[in-house]
Amino acid sequence: MLDDIPAPEELHRRALRRWRANNETDPASGPYVLADWVVTFGIETEQLPSKWAMNWSRALRRYEQFWCDVGRSARENTKVRTTLPVSERLLGEWARYQRRFEYHLTAFQGIRLEVSPAFSWDPVDSAWNARLDASRRHVETTGRLPFLNGDNAVEFGLARWLNRQLHQLQVGTQPPARAARLTELLNPPAASK
């Protein structure tokens, strides 16, 4: 999964291309474009980006680096708060702040967050989709749904998640879009002849 992570330089280039393609000419984006360039490439410039832009770009880089190192996004909360390191909680809170104030971000900031593999505008939905995709891959490779297999921790975790989702489907609390995707997993379309 983490083998195909784009390099920070590639993420900057993607964001810059999208920003230019959208003909975004908002002057507020300028300092953030420059700050992301300075942080990404580590190059000093005569024209210094604003302090706000540099802090934002450094925080995004730390957030992405955490994702690369750990293999998941930083959490902002957990059931047992003592198990959550302060540095991770602060990164998670930074991401939550970006989501909460999305409409106050510049166009480049929004695009840069969208190209980041570490960031998601809806982390709960992203996690749900990732688990559904993992369940689908499991069915494709084994020919069966995951079950509570004590010998395989990954399969066991998928089975527990799937059981919770199926219970919600059964009692009618699963949102319609998710219910349709779960039903598709349970009843895959017949292979065409």
pLDDT at residue 99 tops 90: yes
Percent of the chain with pLDDT over 90: 62
Among the candidates 120, 135, 165, a domain finishes at: 120
Mean per-residue pLDDT, 22-38: 86
The answer to whether residues 86 and 133 belong to one domain is no
The predicted structure's pLDDT at residue 24: 63
Instruction: Decide: 95 and 73 in contact? Cβ < 8 Å.
Output: yes
**Is 80 found in the same domain as 140?**
no
Please tell me the predicted confidence (pLDDT) of residue 1: 45
Residue scoring higher pLDDT (126 or 77): 126
Q: Which domain holds residue 169?
A: 124-186
The pTM score is 0.76
Same domain, 48 and 99: yes
Residue 193: pLDDT band (50, 70, 90) is very low
Quick: pLDDT tens for 164-182.
Answer: 999 999 999 999 999 999 9
The pLDDT assigned to 173 comes to 93
Query: Which among 101, 120, 139 is the end of a domain?
Result: 120
| pLDDT confidence tier of residue 76, bands split at 50, 70 and 90 | confident
pLDDT at 101: 94
From CA 4, how far away is CA 50, in angstroms rounded?
A: 32
Is 80 exceeded by the pLDDT of residue 189?
no
Among 65, 87, 120, where does a domain finish?
A: 120
Q: Is the pLDDT of residue 108 over 70?
A: yes
Q: Is residue 192 part of a domain?
A: no
Q: How far apart are CA 133 and CA 141, in angstroms?
A: 12
Average pLDDT of the residues of the chain: 88
Which of 40-44, 79-83, 132-136 ranks highest by mean pLDDT? Answer: 132-136
Mean pLDDT of the region 91-109: 94
My answer on whether 107 and 156 are in the same domain is: no
Lowest pLDDT segment from 21-35, 91-105, 133-147: 21-35
SS3 assignment for 176-192: HHHHHHHHHHHCCCCCC
Residue 24: inside a domain: yes
Residues 141 and 89 in one domain: no
Residue 22 has pLDDT above 90, yes or no: no
**Is 48 part of a structural domain of the chain?**
yes
**Residue 54 included in any domain:** yes
Same domain, 31 and 69: yes
pLDDT at 78: 75
**65 and 95 share one domain:** yes
| Rg from Cα positions in the chain | 20
For residue 191, being part of any structural domain is answered with no
Q: Are both 79 and 152 inside the same structural domain?
A: no
* Whether 149 and 58 share a structural domain: no
116 with 152, same domain?
no
Number of domains composing the chain? 2
Alpha carbon distances (Å) from 46 to 38, 39, 49, 130: 11, 14, 9, 44
